[in-house]
A and B are shown apart, each in its own frame.
Chain A
């Protein structure tokens, strides 16, 4: 062992080195985000609270089938609608419920949705959906899905059906998302 090695084994230089690292961090910029006052900005593709549009929905049940945990409940019936003077049968939603308390926010329903623009999408940037009572407050019927009763939307995000329709996920926030195939 050299002299310096011997010296280093007695005098704890390396402990001083460690103290230097933590000492330097004392003056570095802090990483804390003061949450309720400062809200972190979700990225454009962020999968947050559901957006749902009843008029776009064609009641095809694709989202309910794609859901891995079966939390989307859909019921519909046929109605005669007059379009251009012709009578046509059209599916009308009776019920479109999402049991958000069990949702994994995997986004498979959004991927399965065949309409363009999408009838259900998660790229709303809204994540403050916590509630004190999970069974009532976190069960979203189609009316609540469009008014977001109980969800605090992220600043700048408009709940579906309030004012104008939010940006289409296909043309807006999620632009550049590659089409499968």
Chain B
């Protein structure tokens, strides 16, 4: 740390730009991969016309959405209609500020951490900020002045609120095991414990992931935008850049959920199986792989499962979704919380 200006201003600024660009690009390419993988599951080829094998498709989509006419329904509530996409996309991007993509490393003599900041209440911050997104959805649905949008917005609100509870409860089990709210510390705790938390917290892991699918409104919980029922749900009336914001937010949220799952349950940037295959881990064969690659790999597995779900499952009905959330996941995660707590006490924990 030679120059404080570099440490306090330049490094965070560069990090912000890099993370933002990376996330936006990732979300855009996420849509590309989704289309490709879905197509391959459905014996099709998928986008393959723009660029070599279709690799420039997301760029073309982005340009199309940018230059598209931005239609505002005549009887929409203009300000709120504008606010909706902003409220959705901003929290989705803000959350990335606390996600640790890897351990700190040295670059040109500076200590650089591949994350914007390590807040000691990181996980609370994420839960808090990401729930703001629901306002964007419900306000956008209401402001469109369309009955289908309205229903989509209401469904989404109910769904997000009910699935936040079991999700939070399953996160708490990890906190019990790691004894910290900081995401970096949680990863380090997994390194110390020598076991990733998805093994002791298998139930919590499962609940977290399913609730994450529900939180991001993805199949089989994609009711707010179920196109066969509600046309396109809350974003029926949105077009152009505003629609792109909703779209971006959905994919960014998927990345958020996957990366949190990676951090909490799959050991973040740690190479696989610290204790069982310690020899392999320590061996130079895997050592050359940068930690951030492990993180991305694990995240990609989650994202693939997201797409796989979408390619396979039918959709729940709204009341069945609520049943599942309140009557299954919340009791199970409560019991699981108690069990994990007891386990931590018995083993001695910290």
Contact = CB atoms under 8 A, between A and B. Distances in A.
Interface of A: 15, 18-19, 21-23, 25-26, 28-32, 34
B43 interface: yes
Interface string B229-263: 00000000000000000000000000000000000
Nearest to A23: B308
Interface stretch (B34-42, B61-69, B77-85, B146-154): B34-42
Contacts of A21: 312
B301 to A, nearest CB: 13
A32 B36 CA distance: 13
A31 B41 CA distance: 11
Interface residues of B, number: 12
Contacts of B37: 26
B44 interface: yes
B45 interface: yes
Given A22-B308, A23-B308, A26-B37, A15 B313 contact: yes
A30 B45 contact: yes
Contact of B41 (A15, A22, A29, A32): A22
A34 B49 CA distance: 10
Contacts of B313: 15, 18
A25 B308 contact: no
A83 to B, nearest CB: 59
B41 A19 contact: no
B44 A32 contact: yes
Interface string B293-323: 0000000000000001101110000000000
A26 B41 contact: yes
Nearest to A27: B40
Contacts of B44: 30-32
Contacts of A23: 41, 308
Contacts of A19: 308-309, 312
Contacts of A28: 43
Contact of B312 (A22, A31, A32): A22
B179 to A, nearest CB: 31
Nearest to A31: B43
B40 A18 contact: no
Interface string B158-195: 00000000000000000000000000000000000000
A26 B33 CA distance: 13
A12 to B, nearest CB: 10
Contacts of A29: 43
A1 B238 CA distance: 50
A31 B37 CA distance: 15
A150 B44 CA distance: 32
Given A15-B313, A18-B313, A30 B43 contact: yes
Going nearest first, the 3 A-B pairs with the smallest beta carbon separation are A22-B312, A32-B45, A31-B43
28 contacts: A15-B312, A18-B312, A18-B313, A19-B309, A19-B312, A22-B41, A22-B308, A22-B311, A22-B312, A23-B41, A23-B308, A25-B40, A25-B41, A25-B42, A25-B43, A26-B40, A26-B41, A28-B43, A30-B40, A30-B43, A30-B44, A30-B45, A31-B43, A31-B44, A32-B43, A32-B44, A32-B45, A34-B45
Contacts of B309: 19
Nearest to A18: B312
Nearest to A17: B312
Contacts of B41: 22-23, 25-26
Contacts of B308: 19, 22-23
A109 B190 CA distance: 79
B99 to A, nearest CB: 28
Contacts of A26: 37, 40-41
Contacts of A25: 40-43
B55 to A, nearest CB: 17
Nearest to A25: B41
B332 to A, nearest CB: 10
A51 B311 CA distance: 45
Interface string B41-58: 111110000000000000
A21 B41 CA distance: 9
Given A18-B313, A19-B312, A21-B312, 9 more contacts: A19-B308, A23-B308, A25-B42, A26-B41, A30-B43, A30-B45, A31-B44, A32-B44, A32-B45
